[in-house]
Amino acid sequence: MSDVTEAPTVRARAAGLVDDVRARLTGNLGSLPVVVGLIVIWVAFQMINPSFLSADNLVNLTLQCAATGTIAIGVVLVLLLGQIDLSVGSVSGLSAAILGVGLTQLGWPLVVSILAAAAAGAAVGLLYGVLFTRFGVPSFVITLAGLLGVLGLQLKVLGPNGSINLPADSPIVQFATSWFLPPWVAYALSALWAGGMFTAALLRRRRRLRAGLTTSPLGWQAAKAGGLLVLCALAVAYLATNRGVGVMFVFFIVLVIVMHVVLTRTRWGREVYAVGGSVEAARRAGIRVDRVYISVFVLCSTFAAVGGLLAAGRLMSVNLNSGAGDTNLVAIAAAVIGGTSLFGGRGSAWSALLGIAVIQSISNGLTLLNLDSSIRYMITGGVLLLAVIIDSLSRRARAAHGQA
């Protein structure tokens, strides 16, 4: 075995160092532009209005991100396949309606209401997946029809009165509005996250050494984990001067991390990227493409349903406007702004978090400035356009490089 691995090790060691640089030069900018953009936005708003980065406002911001951010995770998945789901807003509204009616009118226990709402979302996604794979109708059209159909369903479920207030003592409302982690729990979770990341890196390093492959220096891994820990601890400490870290926000972060791991470390995740990159190649490699499509549509609608539940809990009410308005577009824009390509095959679960942070920061900052929503929409639209242009340009850069 040693003779097998020696040559590659030497070669890879040299190449490995330039890999990252090369990847960025070939148009794979990753999340760098978004992070930079986010920092610019924060600094700008802070200069105009010093209360923007106040602990109070940042706590608000985290809570504002969670619901639509959760919907955006699902959107990331369909975008990775090069497809789209235009009905996530309607599905989130339907799910909220089911929760409201179940809880207040039918007297269902909370768990049953939540499961029913999530199941409804999954069923919608299953329908999309089957329509898409059986009849080959573009997902754009299927989900546009779904947008209307599901909206109708939402109105039907809500019935004539059209508006339901959730009981303020319901755990889902508490979860979304007033449950905050005690600081020590938040610190412990931060340590767990950073520690988990470092342990994973250590284990990977051991496996790579055993396989005779190149490894990045241990110090670098330690620095990354340490940096994460320090950042988290600072954030926790700052937010703790106000209400603290919202449980709903932690829930959202955990969903993002789980989805990231599933996408990058499992066979299913690999298949999602492959189908997004080239359906025909995936098919000829023996991947059951139809299953991948259906599973992703189901997951996307389910995430939309969960996001709808979080939104309902946070607003403490369900009505005709739940999931309507800009929910749909904000969720889709978040995924794209966060760096997931519209062309399929490129992106990560983290773009849901980054994208929603950008959009909500803008929206929150403009609201603090008492600017009305007309300007908010225009600016968000501009940012989305910018994100799509970056996406298209980097795609073109890749194409140009690929032909070289």
Partner 1 sequence: MSAETVVPLPVPGPPERTPVLSMRGISKSFGKVQALTDIHLDIYAGEVVAIVGDNGAGKSTLVKILAGVHPADDGGIEFEGQPVQIPDPTTSRALGIATVFQDLALCDNLDVVANLFLGREIAGVALDEEEMEREAWELLRQLSARIPSVRVPIAALSGGQRQTVAIARSLIGDPRVVILDEPTAALGVAQTAEVLNLIERLRERGHGVVLISHNMADVQAVADRIVVLRLGRNNGDFLASEVGYEDIIAAITGATEHARPLPEPSYPRPRRIGPLR
Q: Which of 245, 287, 349, 359 binds partner 1 (CB under 8 A)?
A: 287
* Interface mask toward partner 1 for 91-110; x: CB under 8 A: --------------------
The tokens describing 176, both together, are 């979304």
Q: Least distance in Å: CB of 392 to partner 1?
A: 15
5 vs 241, which CB is nearer to partner 1?
5
DSSP track, 312-355: HHHHTEEETTTT-TTHHHHHHHHHHHTT--TTSS---THHHHHH
DSSP label of 103? I
Binding mask 175-204 vs partner 1 (x if CB under 8 A, - otherwise)? -----------------------------x
Note the residue count of the chain: 404
- Residue 253's nearest CA partner among 37, 1, 17, 70 is 70
φ/ψ region of 365 (left if φ > 0, alpha if ψ in -120 to 50, else beta) reads alpha
CB of 303 to partner 1, least distance (A): 22
Residues 361-400, interacting with partner 1 (CB under 8 A): 398-399
The answer to whether 2 contacts partner 1 (rule: CB under 8 A) is no
Q: Residue 327: name the closest of 361, 374, 368, 359 by CA.
A: 359
Give least dist CB 277 to partner 1, A. Answer: 4
Which tokens is 299 given?
Answer: 């997951």
Q: Which residues from 334-363 bind partner 1, rule CB under 8 A? A: 345-346
Calpha distance 30→191 (Å, rounded): 26
Task: Report the site for partner 1 in 28-47 (rule: CB under 8 A).
Answer: 28
DSSP 163: E
Distance CA 120, CA 93 (A): 11
CB of 267 to partner 1, least distance (A): 5
80 touches 340 (CB < 8 A):
yes
Backbone angles phi, psi at 163, to 5 degrees: -145, 130
Residues 215 and 205 sit within 8 Å (Cβ to Cβ): yes
* Contacts of 109 by beta carbon, 8 Å cutoff, 6+ apart: none
Question: Which residue's CB is nearer to partner 1, number 111 or number 404?
Answer: 404
Instruction: Name the minimum Å distance from CB 14 to partner 1.
Output: 9
User: Least distance to partner 1 from the beta carbon of 85, Å?
Assistant: 20
Alpha carbons 238 and 250: distance in angstroms, whole number = 16
Task: Please give the single-letter amino acid code of residue 303.
Answer: F
- Interaction residues for partner 1, span 256-275 (CB under 8 A): 265-267, 270, 273-274
Residue 224 or 270 with smaller CB distance to partner 1 = 270
Taking the complex as a whole, the smallest distance from the CB of residue 395 to partner 1 amounts, in Å, to 10
User: Using the rule CB under 8 A, is 15 a contact of partner 1?
Assistant: yes
Check: CB of residue 274 under 8 Å from CB of residue 82.
no
Nearer to partner 1 by Cβ, of 25 and 385: the residue is 25
Does residue 296 contact residue 74 with C-beta atoms inside 8 Å? no
Query: In terms of CB distance, is 184 or 268 closer to partner 1?
Result: 268
* Cβ-proximal residues to 33 (8 Å cutoff; 6+ apart), any chain: 339, 390
Q: How far is the CB of 78 from partner 1 (least distance, A)?
A: 16
**Residue with Cβ nearer partner 1 (243 or 270):** 270
SS3 of the chain: helix, strand, coil, percent, to 5? 75, 0, 20
Number of residues that bind partner 1 (CB under 8 A): 42
Stretch that binds partner 1, among 23-31, 249-257, 359-367, 377-385 (CB under 8 A): 23-31
Among 33, 149, 183, 277, binds partner 1 (CB under 8 A): 277
Residue 210 binds partner 1 (CB under 8 A): yes
Closest distance between partner 1 and the C-beta of residue 264, in Å?
8
Residues contributing to the site for partner 1 (CB under 8 A): 4-5, 7-8, 12, 15-16, 19, 22-23, 26, 28, 204, 207-208, 210-213, 265-267, 270, 273-274, 276-278, 280-282, 284-287, 345-346, 398-399, 401-402, 404
